[in-house]
Structure formats: C-alpha cells, structure tokens
Amino acid sequence: MIKTAGGVLLVVVIAFIAWQVLSSDSSSGEGTVVAGERPLAALDPAERDGYYAAPPENILEPGVDYQAIISTEKGEMRLDLYEDEAPLTVNNFIFLANQGFYDGTTFHRVLQDFMAQGGDPSGTGAGGPGYEFADETDNGLVFDRRGLLAMANGGPDTNGSQFFITYGVTDWLDGNHTIFGELTEGDDVLSSLALRDPATATEPGELIERIDIVEN
C-alpha cells in the first residue's frame, strides 16, 4: 500500500494535538470532578433527613488531594479539604456530596461576622444523615482566620452532615468543632450569602445547588 505524505502528516498532527490535550489536563491543577449517579439528588431534601443508619466506610484514596466545589445561586466556592488532618470528616463529607445528599439544601444559618452554616436536609438546623461520628479536634488546627470549613454539632462527637464556613477569627470554637477544609476561591460568593437567623426567618436560606468533589 502506498502511504501519502499528507496521511502521515495528518497522523502526526493528531498525535500532537492529543499530547497537548493530555498535557494540559494533567498540569492545569484543576483536578478531576468525581462523576457518579448521586442517588439522593432525586429525593426531596426533607426525605434525606435521617436517611442513613451508620457512617460511611472509608472511600479516601491514599495520595489523593481532595477539593470541593459548592455551587450556589450566587456562584461557586472552591475549598481545599484537609484529608490528612481530618480523614473521618473529609471522608464523610465526600460520601454525602457524591450521594447528592447536599443537592438542593440551603445555607439555613448565616450570621454576620460569624459563619455561614448549611448541610441540613430539613433546613431547620436540627436535621442530619441519621448517624453521628467522632470529632477530630486534636490535629493542631484552630479558628484563626476567615474561610475555614468546619463541622457543626450538638456537642462532643455528634457530627453528621451540617457544616459551616467562618467569616473571621472564631477562636472560642477551638477544640469544639472539627476543621476539615478552607476556602480557596469564591470569597465574594461567601460574602454575598444573605444573612439568616433560622429562629426568625420567614424565607428559605440561600440554595446550595450541588457540591462536587475534585480529585488531584
């Protein structure tokens, strides 16, 4: 068979383009968004309250750096997750996010200069996944700055699905709430969330459209 120069050139060009695409994907630092069925996303958020009987098994992969993207009506917030310092908590958060547990929930409690709290499928501040798990507060992390991601709870070792992001230094929380991540992009979105006290609010909080997990 006679091979034309044009055919050889075409193969070379295609190979070069493919190499460029693969190279840019691996070096961009954006990571890979975890895809899945998100089985709970089809349920009304209130139906997810108390859905599980026990905490999830470990799904973290050694050597993988995890991030989360919280998509809201105001835009996206990207957070680096502290899988080394708080593996139980990060594992739980990733499991629930990948299940679609957080899709369509709200930031039900947003207090000025304090924090924005979400992750409750009931939207009341009293809901959760149906199980509780232990604190991870002996990891040296403290509430010394804005943008820290931590677990809300009702006392020691009562973590479930509710989380919050700080608006500033909240050092009175040290040792009482597990810090498991930090905001890296979308500070303007955090600032734009409408203030809401669930004890007096008459309207739902800002919508969390979904939470996606990114692996690097």
Q: For the chain, what is the HEC assignment?
A: CCCCHHHHHHHHHHHHHHHHHHHHHHHCCCCEECCCCCHHHHCCHHHHCCCCCCCCCCCCCCCCCEEEEEEECCEEEEEEECCCCCHHHHHHHHHHHHHCCCCCEEECEEECCCEEEECCCCCCCCCCCCCCECCCCCCCCCCCCCCEEEECCCCCCCECCCEEEECCCCHHHCCCCCEEEEEEECHHHHHHCCCECCCCCCCCCEEEEEEEEEEC
Query: pLDDT-based confidence at 34, cuts 50/70/90?
Result: confident
Catalytic residue among 67, 117, 159, 162: 117
Q: How many domains does the chain divide into? A: 2
Q: Is 210 a catalytic residue?
A: no
**126 and 143, same domain (yes or no):** yes
Task: Kindly report which listed range (4-13, 76-85, 157-166, 173-182) carries the lowest average pLDDT score.
Answer: 4-13
**191 and 99, same domain (yes or no):** yes
**150 and 180, same domain (yes or no):** yes
Catalytic residue among 48, 108, 146, 177: 177
**14 and 45, same domain (yes or no):** no
Catalytic residue among 48, 109, 146, 196: 109
Q: Is 177 a catalytic residue?
A: yes
**4 and 74, same domain (yes or no):** no
Q: pLDDT tens digits for 132-182?
A: 999 999 999 999 999 999 999 999 999 999 999 999 999 999 999 999 999
**163 and 209, same domain (yes or no):** yes
**24 and 42, same domain (yes or no):** no
Q: Is 108 a catalytic residue?
A: no
Average pLDDT for the chain: 89
Q: Is 38 a catalytic residue?
A: no
**111 and 91, same domain (yes or no):** yes
Q: Is 109 a catalytic residue?
A: yes
**92 and 174, same domain (yes or no):** yes
Catalytic residue among 92, 98, 99, 153: 153
Task: Kindly report which listed range (24-38, 60-74, 158-172) carries the lowest average pLDDT score.
Answer: 24-38
**21 and 77, same domain (yes or no):** no
Identify the domain containing residue 170 by its residue range.
33-215
**96 and 72, same domain (yes or no):** yes
Catalytic residue among 95, 101, 164, 180: 164
Q: pLDDT tens digits for 93-147?
A: 999 999 999 999 999 999 999 999 999 999 999 999 999 999 999 999 999 999 9
Q: The domain that contains 163 carries what CATH number?
A: 2.40.100.10
Output the pTM of the full model. Answer: 0.85
**88 and 185, same domain (yes or no):** yes
